[in-house]
């Protein structure tokens, strides 16, 4: 349902009204709730003058098929060729019939108060068609329906247009073509004057009398719901899955009340009284249940016919259980005067008419509970068990229970009573500080009584327990009930954890709440105070604390006076509490929250509670404006990659493949390699191969192969032909193809093995040593602002720990799991004058990090800034680093779940790494290093946990996310419909333009929300929002096998569509508008495949004019120099 609260969207588009109700003996309560349906619009017809849109002239109109119709369905191409407007069998005399896509605009001129219409796909197309309705008022979108088909229930739109100037009605085709998309704005009208639309939830009034006798029947109470429009009877449900009322009370009692029924009127009405019932905790209401019980209306349960419901739980009031507590009349027998049939005791013998004392008999003291002495009773020590024979002679057993005063506040026990083997009573844990409790049980006709005291599971030291005044009664009657003296409950304050805000910014404080079980409608006083700031409390909150009851607002100490509900409504409201630190203050401030219940209920006088929480005020960073820089991730190094970074193609060659005559491919036995990865020697019959280039996008021509050492090299296939050769050198003509250029080593001299192989692209024989990088590669990167080396460093799944294990410039190839040598990363950044972004391996030791940082400090151009990030997506379970950080976090005891522990370890380890960099760079850290934490774009909570853990944000400069776009979520299920396997039969028939239409709808809605939500996290912690990755996120590997090829082709068309240039402009413009700073495309060059369509370029030598994504990136860069 759309979030706009002015929109009525009842279940199935109709109001559910009980009918055929049957009067019963329980006071005429309705028990037969057979539903009947009424047209939902009948219950809320606005008062005032009505103007139907079909009687007005539009200022502009477009329609997807023919002309739009007035008072008829769309029909065909001709005017007035439609039929009677019909939605789900209901006909309408007035309205508009349109065809997607349609847009009709009306001039309102500030004359109207309401716009309303029933909407849906006309019955003339059966169950076909699929559309989305949208309403814009003064250019602002106030309503969007879900996708509607001919099978969808009618929906009512009802919007406030007071003082508005324009109304725009749009119907789109929902992204799957416009066949049969006949849409109706049925009964569409504007109302002037009349009564404003009700936006207030129903009120609820509790009627509950005291329960004052022992019984097994349920306790019954009523709640009267009232509403200015009408209470929606169908929402008074009372089922266990979605009950309206929750009742709480003594001993942790919490029960969802069951609906008994609703008496006449049994239709939607301005006032409805519902009867509910609850059962006793053990099936019998008795003295053990005596307490004050609280009835709470649960949020979102009962609504009016406009869909208005309470947004939070509301305490309706209390009632008392007052089962008589006085001594029953009749003959009393004290247990201390009777003989037990068996007895065990935890320390010495149990005592009669004395406390337990020590080991000896009769060495106890006077039985004393909370200052009250008792002449009769039993003194025991946990664990204790005493059994008495009742013989059916008694009616009642009663006793006061507690831990004897002789142990002070110590001890901790649990009392239990069994009658005829059935447990009728168990206390909560009681200590020397716990109030005395009365046990009063019916034992009529019972044969045995067993009294047990356990140690509550924490040892039995000081567990001196008293069954004070323990007695059995035979015969007699109970006295009239007397009110139960109830002690005033202590209020409880809940406060948020530590908060943080940049200096000079107001902080909206959420998470403060006051609870008080017996507050009812009494007046409480809540005081918020702070030392180094001021507090502003909102005074205009619905049913909140009024301005006159907020004292000293805007100062360091503010007092609120009101009911519990009023206070909590104010504290929970958006911007209900705003904190601002004093000008110039930097450091930790404390906000203290104190509540005083003013002794509103029960005995014992006023009770209070007070809790503090801290606010860290940190220096705000220098303003960065809204300028966004664009960088890129580099594609991973591999022989099959279409990125060509080096002029020496051997640097991207595959690691040696072991072969042997007569053996299967790749099964030639273990190779004897040097530490750098060269072949040290070959076993008899053994040879080795490597693949240097795969695919047709590499430059053809005459290559130069150079090597040191002695041996025999040749090429496996005819795509590389040796033109000439001499010791240490070959010239080779290469014709790239999909087979790949294979180099074969069949002999090598162990004393002087073949090594240092270089395979130089045509024209670079004389320069490759001083300039290792491909000029085309450099040119395509030259305008980017940052180079993220995540894939170049082979960060995902990396096991690198020690500095000595890393790749170097002398390694045989850079295409290994160790990644590219850091020296090359730095050289590339220096060559292009572009900031590098490094990702430190998850398992890297402190020594590794320190050596890494030192090399960057010493070799990186000092005018460049090194971005530093720990690993990559440590939260992402598809990578082994996620399991690693989880295990490390568990080992540190950071959380009891691998997920939670992993986030906290990632935070802690990042800070440890940042501190090493800070130590290495010293005073130049702020100028030369940017420290980045990475979160999860779709779940800002992850970032909050990482940044907030132990104030980690204080060691960071940026909060990084990967905000990919992947197609519009048309069905509202939270995932991309374009990548959705379940919708493949729809998507596969779409055009590239239709998919791009969906993406363009996604950017100002879902993507904007993602940007904004993460920007709020960054702002809260006072650091920049950056993107470590981003761009288009379409994949086709997940689809059924018979559809993968066609979906891959379709998504390739999308990425090659010229309109992708516009998509990137809209995407990056929105990123900048939402406050995003540095943005990093993923990635620079990658060929399209079912695994993704990531590259801004598809291959290195692609003409940029044929690469719309690359052009879109360049457009934004050029517009934001």
**What class, spelled out in words, does domain 492-618 have in CATH?**
mainly beta
Cα 899 from Cα 885, distance rounded (Å) = 9
DSSP code of 936? Answer: B
Lowest-confidence pick of 171-180, 191-200, 705-714, 885-894 = 191-200
Size of the chain in residues: 1121
Closest-CA residue to 142 (of 102, 169, 112): 169
Strand order in the sheet with 701-708: 720-726, 729-734, 701-708, 755-760
Instruction: Provide the pLDDT for residue 191.
Output: 87
Please state, in angstroms and as integers, the Cα–Cα distance from residue 1109 to each residue in 501, 881, 1095, 1115, following that order. 38, 31, 8, 10
- Tell me the mean pLDDT in the region 119-125: 90
Residue 12 has pLDDT above 50, yes or no: no
Give 398-461 as a DSSP string.
Answer: EEEEEE-GGGTT---BEEEEEETTEEEEE---B-TTSPPEEEEEE-TT--EEEEEEE-TTS--T
Residue 248 has pLDDT above 80, yes or no: yes
Are 45-192 and 199-321 in the same CATH fold? Answer: no
Cα 173 from Cα 160, distance rounded (Å) = 26
- Tell me the mean pLDDT in the region 36-50: 41
655-688 pLDDT, tens digit each: 999 999 889 999 999 999 999 999 999 999 999 9
Count CB-CB contacts under 10 A for residue 1103. Answer: 8
Residue 711 has pLDDT above 70, yes or no: yes
Instruction: Provide the pLDDT for residue 498.
Output: 63
Which segment, 4-13, 197-206, 491-500, 1095-1104, is predicted with the most confidence on average? 1095-1104
User: Would you place residue 277 in the very low, low, confident or very high pLDDT band (cuts 50, 70, 90)?
Assistant: confident
Tokens of 301: 């349960």
Query: Which CATH topology does 331-474 take?
Result: Jelly Rolls (2.60.120)
User: Would you place residue 755 in the very low, low, confident or very high pLDDT band (cuts 50, 70, 90)?
Assistant: very high
Instruction: Provide the pLDDT for residue 460.
Output: 83
Is domain 199-321 in CATH 2.60.40, yes or no?
yes
Sequence spans of domains, the chain = 45-192, 199-321, 331-474, 492-618, 646-772, 778-1119
Q: At 418, give phi and psi (nearest 5°).
A: -115, 130
448-471 pLDDT, tens digit each: 999 999 988 888 888 999 999 999
- Burial pattern 911-939, b for ≥16 Cβ within 10 A else e, equals bebbebbbebbeeebeebbbbbbbbbbbe
Residue 1071 has pLDDT above 70, yes or no: yes
Please state, in angstroms and as integers, the Cα–Cα distance from residue 119 to each residue in 47, 106, 126, following that order. 21, 18, 15
Tokens of 297: 């209306």
Cis peptide before 265 (omega within 30 of 0): yes
Residue 992 has pLDDT above 50, yes or no: yes
The CATH H-level (homologous superfamily) assignment of domain 778-1119 is: Glycosidases (3.20.20.80)
pTM over 0.85: no
User: Would you place residue 30 in the very low, low, confident or very high pLDDT band (cuts 50, 70, 90)?
Assistant: very low
Closest-CA residue to 956 (of 933, 925, 922): 933
Residue 1000 has pLDDT above 50, yes or no: yes
905-922 pLDDT, tens digit each: 999 999 999 999 999 999
Residue 476 has pLDDT above 70, yes or no: no
Instruction: Provide the pLDDT for residue 973.
Output: 58
Counting residues of the chain whose pLDDT is more than 70, the rounded percentage is 89
Instruction: Show the 3-state SS of 951-1018.
Output: HHHHHCCEEEECCCECCCCCCCCCCCCCCCHHHHHHHCCCCHHHHHHHHHHHHHHHHHHHHHHHHHHH
Tokens of 740: 């790949």
Instruction: Provide the pLDDT for residue 225.
Output: 85
User: Would you place residue 214 in the very low, low, confident or very high pLDDT band (cuts 50, 70, 90)?
Assistant: low
Residue 1012 has pLDDT above 90, yes or no: yes
Residue 798 has pLDDT above 50, yes or no: yes
DSSP code of 491? Answer: P
Counting residues of the chain whose pLDDT is more than 90, the rounded percentage is 50
Mean pLDDT for all residues in the chain:
85
Phi-psi region of 996 (alpha: psi -120 to 50; beta: other; left: phi over 0): alpha
With beta carbons less than 8 A apart as the criterion, state whether 1098 and 642 touch. yes
Instruction: Provide the pLDDT for residue 1003.
Output: 87
- Tell me the mean pLDDT in the region 355-382: 88
With beta carbons less than 8 A apart as the criterion, state whether 801 and 812 touch. no
Residue 286 has pLDDT above 90, yes or no: no
Closest-CA residue to 386 (of 465, 282, 288): 465
Helix axes 940-948, 1008-1021, angle to 10 degrees: 10
| Integer-rounded Cα radius of gyration of the chain | 39
**Which residue would you say has higher pLDDT here, 45 or 372?**
372
Cα 201 from Cα 300, distance rounded (Å) = 9
User: Would you place residue 943 in the very low, low, confident or very high pLDDT band (cuts 50, 70, 90)?
Assistant: very high
With beta carbons less than 8 A apart as the criterion, state whether 481 and 212 touch. yes
Residue 29 has pLDDT above 50, yes or no: no
Residue 899 has pLDDT above 80, yes or no: yes
Tokens of 362: 């009769």
Phi-psi region of 543 (alpha: psi -120 to 50; beta: other; left: phi over 0): left
Q: At 740, give phi and psi (nearest 5°).
A: 90, 150
**What class, spelled out in words, does domain 45-192 have in CATH?**
mainly beta
């Amino acid at each position: 349902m759309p979030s706009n609260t002015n929109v009525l969207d009842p279940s199935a588009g109709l109001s559910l009204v009980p009918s055929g109700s049957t009067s019963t003996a329980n006071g005429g309560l309705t028990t037969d709730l057979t539903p009947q349906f009424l047209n939902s619009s009948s219950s809320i017809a606005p008062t005032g003058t009505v103007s139907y849109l079909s009687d007005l002239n539009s200022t502009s109109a477009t329609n997807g098929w023919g002309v739009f119709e007035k008072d008829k369905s769309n029909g065909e191409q001709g005017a007035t060729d439609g039929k009677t407007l019909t939605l789900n069998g209901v006909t309408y005399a007035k309205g508009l019939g349109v065809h997607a896509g349609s847009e009709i605009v009306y001039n309102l001129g500030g004359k109207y108060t309401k716009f309303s219409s029933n909407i849906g796909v006309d019955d003339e197309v059966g169950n076909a068609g699929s559309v989305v309705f949208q309403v814009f008022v003064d250019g602002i979108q106030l309503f969007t329906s879900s996708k509607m088909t001919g099978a969808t229930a009618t929906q009512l739109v009802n919007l406030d247009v007071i003082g508005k100037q324009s109304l725009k009605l749009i119907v789109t085709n929902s992204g799957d073509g416009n066949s049969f998309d006949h849409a109706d704005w049925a009964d569409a009208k504007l109302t002037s004057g009349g009564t404003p639309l009700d936006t207030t939830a129903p009120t609820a009034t509790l009627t509950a009398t005291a329960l004052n006798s022992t019984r097994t029947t349920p306790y019954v109470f009523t709640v009267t719901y009232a509403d200015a429009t009408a209470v929606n009877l169908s929402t008074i449900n009372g089922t266990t899955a979605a009950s309206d009322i929750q009742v709480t009370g003594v001993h942790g009692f919490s029960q969802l009340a069951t609906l008994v029924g609703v008496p006449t009127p049994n239709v939607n009405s301005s006032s409805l009284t519902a009867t509910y019932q609850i059962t006793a905790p053990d099936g019998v209401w008795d003295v053990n249940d005596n307490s004050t019980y609280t009835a709470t209306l649960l949020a979102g349960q009962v609504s009016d016919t406009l869909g208005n419901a309470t947004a939070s739980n509301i305490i309706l009031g209390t009632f008392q259980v007052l089962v008589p507590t006085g001594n029953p009349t009749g003959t009393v027998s004290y247990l201390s005067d009777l003989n037990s049939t068996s007895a065990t005791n935890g320390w010495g013998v149990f005592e009669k008419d004395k406390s337990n004392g020590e080991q000896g008999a009769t060495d106890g003291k006077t039985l004393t509970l909370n200052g009250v002495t008792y002449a009769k009773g039993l003194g025991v020590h946990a664990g204790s068990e005493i059994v008495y024979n009742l013989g059916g002679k008694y009616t009642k057993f009663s006793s006061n229970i507690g831990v004897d005063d002789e142990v002070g506040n110590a001890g901790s026990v649990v009392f239990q009573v069994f009658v005829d083997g059935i447990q009728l009573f168990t206390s909560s844990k009681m200590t020397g500080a716990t109030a005395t409790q009365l046990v009063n049980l019916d034992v009529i006709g019972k044969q045995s009584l067993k009294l047990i005291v356990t140690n509550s599971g924490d040892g039995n030291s000081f567990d001196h327990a008293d069954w004070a005044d323990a007695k059995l009664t035979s015969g007699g009657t109970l006295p009239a009930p007397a009110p139960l003296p109830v002690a005033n409950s202590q209020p409880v304050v809940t406060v948020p954890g530590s908060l943080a805000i940049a200096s000079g910014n107001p902080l909206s404080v959420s998470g403060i709440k006051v609870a008080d079980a017996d507050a009812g409608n009494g007046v409480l006083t809540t005081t918020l105070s702070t030392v180094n700031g001021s507090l502003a409390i909102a005074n205009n909150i619905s049913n909140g604390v009024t301005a006159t009851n907020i004292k000293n607002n805007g100062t360091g100490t503010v007092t609120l006076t009101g009911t519990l509900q009023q206070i909590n409504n104010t504290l929970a409201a958006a911007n209900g509490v705003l904190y601002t630190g004093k000008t110039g203050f930097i450091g930790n401030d404390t906000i203290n929250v104190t509540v005083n219940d003013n002794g509103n209920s029960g005995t014992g006088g006023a009770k209070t509670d007070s809790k503090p929480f801290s606010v860290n005020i940190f220096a705000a960073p220098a303003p960065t404006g809204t300028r966004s820089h664009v960088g890129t991730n580099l594609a991973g190094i591999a022989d099959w990659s279409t990125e060509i970074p080096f002029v020496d193609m051997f640097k991207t060659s595959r690691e040696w493949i072991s072969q042997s005559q007569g053996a299967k491919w790749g099964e030639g036995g273990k190779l004897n390699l040097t530490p750098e990865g060269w072949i040290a020697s070959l076993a008899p019959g053994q040879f080795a191969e490597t693949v240097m280039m795969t695919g047709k996008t590499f430059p053809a021509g005459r290559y130069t192969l150079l090597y040191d050492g002695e041996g025999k090299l040749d090429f496996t296939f005819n795509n590389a032909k040796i033109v000439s050769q001499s010791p240490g050198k070959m010239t080779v003509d290469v014709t790239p193809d999909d087979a790949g250029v294979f180099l074969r080593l069949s002999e090598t001299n162990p004393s002087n093995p073949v090594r240092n192989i270089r395979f130089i692209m045509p024209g670079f024989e004389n320069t490759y040593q001083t300039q290792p990088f491909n000029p085309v590669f450099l040119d395509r990167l030259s305008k980017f602002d940052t180079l993220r080396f995540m894939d170049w460093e082979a960060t995902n799944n990396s096991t690198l720990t020690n500095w000595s294990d890393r790749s170097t410039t002398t390694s045989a190839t850079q295409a290994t799991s160790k990644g590219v040598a850091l020296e090359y990363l730095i050289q590339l950044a220096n060559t292009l004058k572009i900031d590098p972004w490094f990702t430190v391996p998850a398992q890297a030791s402190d020594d590794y990090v320190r050596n890494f940082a030192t090399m960057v400090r010493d070799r990186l151009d000092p005018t460049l800034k090194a971005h530093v990030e720990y690993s990559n997506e440590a939260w992402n379970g598809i990578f082994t680093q996620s399991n690693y950080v989880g295990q490390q976090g568990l080992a540190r005891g950071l959380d009891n779940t691998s997920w939670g522990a992993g986030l906290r370890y990632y935070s802690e380890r990042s800070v440890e790494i940042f501190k090493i960099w800070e130590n290495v760079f010293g005073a130049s850290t702020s100028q030369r290093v940017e420290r980045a934490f990475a979160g999860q774009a779709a779940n800002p909570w992850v970032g909050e946990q990482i940044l907030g853990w132990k104030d980690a944000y204080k060691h960071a400069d940026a909060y990084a996310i990967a905000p990919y776009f992947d197609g519009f979520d048309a069905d509202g299920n939270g995932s991309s419909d374009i990548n959705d396997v379940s919708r493949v039969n729809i998507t596969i028939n779409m055009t590239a333009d239709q998919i791009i239409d969906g993406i363009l709808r996604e950017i100002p809605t879902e993507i904007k929300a993602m940007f904004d939500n993460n920007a709020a996290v960054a702002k809260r912690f006072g650091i920049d929002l950056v993107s470590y990755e981003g761009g288009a996120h379409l994949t086709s590997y997940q689809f059924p096998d018979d559809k993968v090829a066609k979906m891959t082709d379709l998504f390739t068309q999308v990425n090659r569509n010229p309109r992708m240039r516009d998509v990137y402009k809209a995407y990056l413009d929105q990123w900048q508008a939402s406050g995003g700073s540095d943005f990093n495309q993923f990635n620079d060059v990658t060929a399209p495949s079912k695994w993704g369509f990531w590259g801004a370029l598809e291959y290195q030598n692609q003409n940029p004019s044929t690469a719309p994504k690359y052009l879109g990136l360049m457009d934004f860069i050029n517009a934001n120099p």
